Every structure is written in structure tokens, then in C-alpha cells.
A and B are shown apart, each in its own frame.
Chain A
């Protein structure tokens, strides 16, 4: 599951090498050597570019560090964030992490492959 961090509880970690990636940055060409964490942005929760960025970083480039969702991060996008390769998410102010947990138990599986389960349902069974 994705690590859910309540807003304001995130202390800066000076020992980590954090790469903050803009929405229009090319996830395929950005250097990742020595990077511990990539932070991707949701300027609005309806801006879906970071979903593609995360998937390319995780699945195509095999980045094994932390991929963190920041910005307008809400409960109902957490499952899809997890599926495209995010490993942590900083929840927007005022959102209750308790509402998040049951969302992860909702679906037994999904049809299409993703960054976590790369094979689609039809190739799994």
C-alpha cells in the first residue's frame, strides 16, 4: 500500500536526495542517479500528468526509490496513485486518512496491468 502522510506532518529530511519534478518535465530523460525520492505534483487533482510520470519512472525506468505525490492529493485518487507507482502521498489539509484505507480493499483486482501488477488480468489467470 501507499504510505499516506497527513498534511503538515512531513518533516524535511536533509539526508535524502529529493528530486522535485515539474509536471511538464520528461520523466524518461531526467537523471536519477543518487536520487532517493522523486516528488511529483498535483497542482489540481484533475491534472493527471503525474500519473504518467510516475508510471514511466517506476515501470519503464525501474526507479526503486520513493515516488511521492504532493499538492492537491485527495482520498479518491490514492488507489490509482499506488497503481501507477507512487509509494507515498501527502494528503491535502483536512482529509481523513481513515477514509483512505477502505478504498484499498474495495476491488479484488483490476482489468489492466499497472506499475505494481504489470500483467493484465487476462494474462494473470
Chain B
């Protein structure tokens, strides 16, 4: 992973000191709440439903064992509400009612604390840290090269890449050096700290789009032109929210040397012309949609001016690329050495694993090929009953750190799907890793299956949410605990957002669930057929809404009806396997699914 320089280290420490200074002035009454607001947001501090929330950046998901241990410390020592606050919050959440599970135990909200939450944009969030401890936490994080810089606010946010950056079999080029160059360039950019709205950039280095590029403000696909030169296909103006839009390709080929010049032009034009009168129309997608070719022409004109008139000061040189690329030190991986008794233990562990059908399922779902044929890419599942998707307690983060250190050169990655991936696992270590991951509770073989769902924290924490996400996620997880059934349902993306801000990427799910508010009650809109842009899902596309929204109690039943429709309609392909949910849905169309969903509405409501 990227090795911080002395400059990088001093920079995050200076940032922590600056934030302490700002908080001190706020507490002394020299900064109003309103004046502090964008400053705390630019350091990742929100005010939530019951307590502040801290969002920590994990640039392009890369995280070390040491950093995971620091996050565990934050969870254990700082993510701790006082008893009265917790009691009050718990009572309010209980008052929202339970979500029944067909044939199961009704789900109620049990607020937890002392844990971190992995987000779809490779950040880590904490929900209970008192604001009075904020400066201490930022200093602790800075000591392990972490920060919350621009994880919120109308700024250029944490840069993401596909999770297989630098290790994929189908990679065009490693996006990490470019992501790091972009991270540095965007960090405390003086011109772009008060954009009309937030601004998210993603890069994808593989042939398959695993970074949801079409959904980003700027999506950068690494490509080679006919001459074999490296560059980017640039998409601008994608986004979710109230108006889901897939980004427009503004450049088929941008030479990599001009990455920063071109992005500067894209964002400058947005800073000048993006709408500031209406929060819901302030994202760049609205500008690109309204202006179309005129936006593109303006960007190209500004790009030429940056290069020709300003002299292109940010034109990337081979030397700078090499410097950054070299800081991603490739670990030397050998199998853990096993001699004598250790070799015998290995043989036993391996034989045990291979005798267990769960191991075969784990190899199938959680282990993927690596560009180095000796190695494997292993995903630790953070989708298990009893925990919200992407939640990790202090103990669990330490256990994950230990797995990363023992099996993956001390490196892990946060994924878009809210799991943790180990990028450097030797194939001979797989049985030991499986046994250890199982012990830690991370070996559920459900990657890419129904229970590997995405969910935002929703109405249990977030003040923006219209409805709770987590009890819905838990109810569906509880209903689909039979692995045989889950494997039979196969690859499927289920995404849940508690409001239209779409942090749970419901628009991009094959099945999307969106919390909406009607008469102060929780309702859920269901969408079908969305895509993030992966090969499984097809070109990026928002799902279509299925009729009026459903009550919380109806949602698990509706999901079951939709999945039963798939089982009825699916075909067996030539190789004897079943076609996937999304393939069936694309082939037969949305209607039978919609009819099944609407048919699952509770009769009481229809007659009421």
C-alpha cells in the first residue's frame, strides 16, 4: 500500500492541530455553530440524530493492520455514549416499532456502540463519539496516517477505485498511483473547498467496471488507445439522489499526463456555473444534463487554457508517476513456513477444511484469482446475522488486523460492498485463513449473494433518513439464513437506503429498497433492475419503481415474492446452471416481478 512521506505525515498532523484550534474557538464562542459547520464537515464530523458522527477516509480502501487497530481503539475508547443518551435514543427507536419476519423473530432496533461502520465509499464511520473528544480522536488517527479530510462538505471527497486495484487478472493499469495523485491534488484545494455541492471521483483499472463509474460525479476508466498509450475515458455528471443520472462520456481518451489539468477544468466550470440556489439541483449532474454539449465545450476550452495559457503546471511527469507508483511497495509473499510439526498441523488443517462443504462454498464465493497465480484475493464477509452490514466491533477490527498481518502482508481493503478484502494471500495459506476467519466470524460464504446486501445506517442514526434501513436488512438476513437457499438464488445485488440521498445505492441494486416518509411514518419504495455497471449487472442503470411504497412489515414478504418469481421464471443455461436474477429480470421484463410484489401487499391496507 501507499507509504506516507514525512510531508504527508506532517500534513495530517497539521490538519488535526488546525481542527483543534477551530473547536477551541467554537467552544470559546468565537465561531458560531453555523461557521463551524463546514469546517467540521470538511474533517468528517456530522451532527446526527442522537450524537455526532465521524467519517474517516480510507483512500481507495487501502488500510493497514496498524490502522485497523487504531480504529479498534477509537471504537473501544471513544465510540461510547453516556448511559442517559443511549437510554433516551433506544426508547425513541423502539417507539418506531418492529419489523415482523415471516416464520421468524420480529426485528426491533437495538442500538449498539463501540464499533465502526464500513461505507460504500470506503470510509469508516463512528456514531457515538462526543464532540468534546473530537480533537483527541483526530490526533490519534493522524498518528497512524489517517484523517477525515474532505469526507464531507461541498468538497472533492475521498477518492475510490475498484477493489482489485493492482491485483486483478483483467487489469488495464493500476489505478492506485493515479488515485493517490488525485488524493494529494484534491487535499485542501484552495479553489474547490466550497463547491455548489459534494463531489465524488472514482477510478477503475480493470476491463470490468467494478467502481460504479457511471454513478460518479467524475468516473475515470483506465484505457489504452490504438497506439498503446495509457489514458482515461472520462465520464462526468453521474449521481444518485432524487434524480438518478448516469454520467456522460466527455472524453473517450485523455492522456494520463493531463489527468489533473482536465479534472481542474471539469470542476472549475462546475464551481462557476453549478446551481447554488437549490440544494437538490446543485450536483454537477444537473449542470451537465442542462447544458449538455455546452458544458463539454466549456471544459475543453478551459482545459486548453490551463495547458496553453497557464502552462499546465499540474501536467504529470513520468518521474512523478514513478515516484508515486514506487511508493506502492509490492509485498514479497511466501507461504507461511511450515516445517516438521507445523507441516503436519497444516496437513491436518487442510484435510479438515477440504472435508467441510462450507470450505468449498467459501472458495467459490469469497476467494478470487489474483494476477500472481501463486496468490488469491480473499473477501472477509461483514454480512452476518446479528450485525448491521459493514459493522465491525473493536474486537472484530483487531481480529481483522491480525488476519491481515498473518495472511496478507499487513494490508486489507475496504470494499464498495462494505466488506474487507485481503489482497495478498498465498494459496497454500487458504485452509488456515479459512479456519481463522471462521473463528472470527468473517467466513460466511455469501459474497455476492442476497445477504451480502448494502445498507446505509438509516433512521437509527442518520438525521437525514426518512426510515430505518437496519431492521429491514436484519429481517431479510434472518429470513435468508439457509445457505442452500441463498446459493440457489445465486448472484444478486440488494441495496437499501434510508432516504433519497442514496448512501445505500438503492438505485444501482437489482433490488433496491428506499425509505420514504409519508405522514411521519416509515414506508419503503422498491425498485427493480438497477445496475452498478459490473458484468453481472450490465451497463449502469437506475432501477424502476414498483408501484406505491410498502410498509416495513410488507418489505420482507415483497422481497420473498420477487425472489419466488425469479425462481419460477428462470431458465437453465447451456452449462446446466441457472441464469442469474438480473438476467431473468432483463429477459422477461419487470412486469411479473411487479405483479408479484404488488400481490404481496397486505390485504388489510387495500381494504382500509
- Check: A9 CB closer than 8 A to any chain B CB: no
Residues 64-89 of chain A, each 1 if its beta carbon lies under 8 Å from chain B, else 0: 00000000001111011101100000
Q: Does the CB pair B194–A51 fall under 8 Å?
A: yes
Q: Does the CB pair B21–A102 fall under 8 Å?
A: yes
- Check: B336 CB closer than 8 A to any chain A CB: no
Q: Does the CB pair A48–B195 fall under 8 Å?
A: yes
B167-220 with Cβ < 8 A to chain A: 184-195
- Check: A15 CB closer than 8 A to any chain B CB: no
Residues 50-72 of chain A, each 1 if its beta carbon lies under 8 Å from chain B, else 0: 01100100011000000000000
A47 touches which of B7, B185, B276 (Cβ 8 Å): B276
Q: Does the CB pair A113–B313 fall under 8 Å?
A: yes
Residues of A within 8 A of B317 (CB): 122-123
CB distance from B126 to the nearest CB of A (A): 24
A49 touches which of B187, B193, B271 (Cβ 8 Å): B271
Task: Please tell me the number of chain B residues within 8 Å of chain A, measured between CB atoms.
Answer: 41
A120–B260 alpha-carbon span in the complex (Å): 11
B194 touches which of A48, A95, A113 (Cβ 8 Å): A48
A60 touches which of B192, B310, B323 (Cβ 8 Å): B310
A95-125 with Cβ < 8 A to chain B: 95-96, 99, 102-103, 106-114, 118-123
B263-286 with Cβ < 8 A to chain A: 268, 271-272, 276
Identity of the chain A residue whose Cβ is nearest the Cβ of B268 in the assembled complex: A52
A95–B313 alpha-carbon span in the complex (Å): 35
B20-48 with Cβ < 8 A to chain A: 21-22, 25, 30-31, 35, 38-39
CB distance from B409 to the nearest CB of A (A): 27
B320 touches which of A81, A84, A99, A122 (Cβ 8 Å): A122
Contact (A112, B185) CB under 8 Å given A46-B194, A76-B22:
yes
CB distance from A71 to the nearest CB of B (A): 13
A76–B191 alpha-carbon span in the complex (Å): 14
Q: Does the CB pair B190–A51 fall under 8 Å?
A: yes
Q: Does the CB pair B272–A112 fall under 8 Å?
A: no
Residues of A within 8 A of B272 (CB): 49, 52
Q: Does the CB pair A46–B154 fall under 8 Å?
A: yes
- Check: B4 CB closer than 8 A to any chain A CB: no
Residues of B within 8 A of A76 (CB): 22, 31, 35, 39
Task: Please tell me the number of chain A residues within 8 Å of chain B, measured between CB atoms.
Answer: 39
A11-60 with Cβ < 8 A to chain B: 45-49, 51-52, 55, 59-60
Q: Does the CB pair A123–B313 fall under 8 Å?
A: yes
Q: Does the CB pair A107–B11 fall under 8 Å?
A: yes
Contact (A84, B190) CB under 8 Å given A45-B35, A49-B272, A121-B7:
yes
Q: Does the CB pair A107–B313 fall under 8 Å?
A: no
Residues of A within 8 A of B39 (CB): 76
A101–B17 alpha-carbon span in the complex (Å): 15
B311-338 with Cβ < 8 A to chain A: 311, 313-314, 317, 320, 323
CB distance from B178 to the nearest CB of A (A): 13
A83–B178 alpha-carbon span in the complex (Å): 24
Identity of the chain A residue whose Cβ is nearest the Cβ of B193 in the assembled complex: A80
- Check: B305 CB closer than 8 A to any chain A CB: yes
Q: Does the CB pair B17–A48 fall under 8 Å?
A: no
A13–B314 alpha-carbon span in the complex (Å): 39
Contact (A106, B18) CB under 8 Å given A52-B272, A120-B185, A122-B323:
yes
B271 touches which of A52, A103, A111, A120 (Cβ 8 Å): A52
Q: Does the CB pair B30–A108 fall under 8 Å?
A: no
Contact (A59, B314) CB under 8 Å given A84-B191, A120-B185, A122-B320:
no
Residues of A within 8 A of B309 (CB): 60
Q: Does the CB pair B189–A112 fall under 8 Å?
A: yes
A106–B13 alpha-carbon span in the complex (Å): 10
Q: Does the CB pair A51–B18 fall under 8 Å?
A: no
Q: Does the CB pair A108–B25 fall under 8 Å?
A: no
Residues of B within 8 A of A99 (CB): 25, 30
A123–B363 alpha-carbon span in the complex (Å): 46
Identity of the chain B residue whose Cβ is nearest the Cβ of A61 in the assembled complex: B309
A76–B38 alpha-carbon span in the complex (Å): 10
Residues of B within 8 A of A110 (CB): 188, 190
CB distance from B277 to the nearest CB of A (A): 11
Residues of B within 8 A of A114 (CB): 190-191
Q: Does the CB pair B314–A52 fall under 8 Å?
A: no
Most chain A beta carbons < 10 A, residue from B14, B25, B272: B272
Residues of A within 8 A of B30 (CB): 95-96, 99
Q: Does the CB pair B190–A120 fall under 8 Å?
A: no
A76–B398 alpha-carbon span in the complex (Å): 37
Q: Does the CB pair A106–B14 fall under 8 Å?
A: yes
Contact (A103, B18) CB under 8 Å given A51-B191, A60-B310, A111-B188:
yes
Residues of B within 8 A of A47 (CB): 194, 276
Contact (A118, B191) CB under 8 Å given A103-B18, A106-B18:
no
CB distance from B52 to the nearest CB of A (A): 19
A24–B271 alpha-carbon span in the complex (Å): 11
Most chain B beta carbons < 10 A, residue from A79, A122, A123: A122
Q: Does the CB pair A74–B35 fall under 8 Å?
A: yes
Q: Does the CB pair A48–B185 fall under 8 Å?
A: no
A46–B192 alpha-carbon span in the complex (Å): 11
Q: Does the CB pair B7–A108 fall under 8 Å?
A: yes
- Check: B364 CB closer than 8 A to any chain A CB: no
Chain A to chain B contacts (Cβ below 8 Å), 22 pairs: A45-B35, A48-B191, A51-B193, A52-B271, A60-B305, A81-B190, A84-B190, A106-B14, A106-B17, A108-B7, A109-B7, A110-B188, A111-B11, A112-B184, A112-B186, A112-B189, A112-B260, A118-B311, A118-B313, A120-B314, A121-B7, A122-B320
Q: A46-B194, A107-B188 are in contact. List 20 more A-B contacts (CB 8 A).
A: A45-B194, A46-B154, A48-B194, A51-B190, A75-B31, A76-B39, A80-B190, A96-B30, A99-B25, A99-B30, A102-B21, A103-B21, A107-B14, A110-B190, A111-B11, A111-B185, A112-B190, A112-B314, A120-B260, A120-B313
Residues of B within 8 A of A (CB): 7, 10-11, 14, 17-18, 21-22, 25, 30-31, 35, 38-39, 154, 184-195, 260, 268, 271-272, 276, 305, 309-311, 313-314, 317, 320, 323
Question: Which 6 A-B pairs rank lowest in CB-CB distance, beginning with the nearest?
Answer: A48-B194, A80-B190, A83-B190, A111-B184, A122-B320, A51-B191
